[in-house]
Structure 1
Amino acid sequence: MATAVVTPEVVNAPAAPSTPVVLTPSAIVKVKEIMATQDPIPAGLRIGVVGGGCSGFQYSMSFENASGMMDKVVRFDDLKVFIDATSAMYLNGCTVDYVETLEAAGFKFENPQVKSTCGCGSSFSV
């Protein structure tokens, strides 16, 4: 007979530090797959928000050999993700997924802070 484990509820505990962005398992696998083809293999993935596009902001992803001094470094398994302080404000609560369909394949950002996107979906406003 199996016994159930009951976790006690902790009241008035400080909130656990949150990460500005979450990568799904499929996004992690795809990033690692792409990184493995690079020479030299990068230290991690930089995710950011940059000005541009018809709605004001765009997401950016690039490989980096080191984090910046002011970067937040988030680990997903053995994958390091670098996020600068300004981008972290716009990415708070964002989930990055990798999606493959018959029409297209790519990384998809689900950001609860986005108020509107442009018609093509490549830029957003908050």
Structure 2
Amino acid sequence: MITVTDTALDQFRRLRRKKNDEELMLRLGVKNAGCSGMSYDIKPERTIGTTDQVYEYGDVKVLVDTASLTYLDDLTLDYSADLMGGGFRFRNPNATHTCGCGSSFSTTPPAP
């Protein structure tokens, strides 16, 4: 399960309005990068993939591919408008280590 706060949903809705595209969905994923081993990947998306888990929050669909879901299950996505480094924030209970900026993390490898 992925939880997206109202603040994060509102920010994504603002992005959709700015792009004048109410059909955009929010894709969350992970990639091998960053100082802790993996980094979060967040971007607008127009297509639902065959391996995507879809979470619906009213008019916002959040997509997570099954490979990323292993690392993002129980994640909470929030948004902060702090003057110093505002943006989307990831609270990931699966992360065993995070970098100082919070954009990369590592986990214990999933059981086979």
TM over 0.5: yes
Residue 34 of structure 1 is matched in structure 2 by 15
| 1:118 CA drift (Å) | 2.3
Give unmatched runs, 5+ long, in structure 2.
108-112
Structure 1: 5+ residue stretches without partners: 1-18
User: Match of 1:37, SS?
Assistant: helix
Counterpart contact for 1:47–1:81, Cα < 8 Å: yes
| TM-score computed with the length of structure 2 as normaliser | 0.88
Two-structure CA RMSD over aligned residues (Å): 1.3
Q: Secondary structure in 1 aligned to 2:83?
A: coil
* 1:62 corresponds to 2:43: yes
| Larger CA Rg, structure 1 vs 2 | 1
Tell me which stretches of 4 or more aligned residues in structure 1 moved more than 6 Å.
none
What residue identity is the alignment partner of 1:111?
Answer: N
Kindly tell me: are residues 40 and 29 of structure 1, through their superposed partners in 2, closer, same or farther at Cα, counting changes over 3 Å? closer
Check whether the contact 1:42–1:63 (CA below 8 A) recurs between aligned residues: no
For these two proteins, the number of residue pairs brought into alignment is 107
Q: Counterpart of 1:30 in structure 2: which amino acid? A: Q
Q: Are 1:78 and 2:59 counterparts?
A: yes
Q: Which amino acid aligns with 1:79?
A: V
CA shift, 1:123, in A, is 1.0
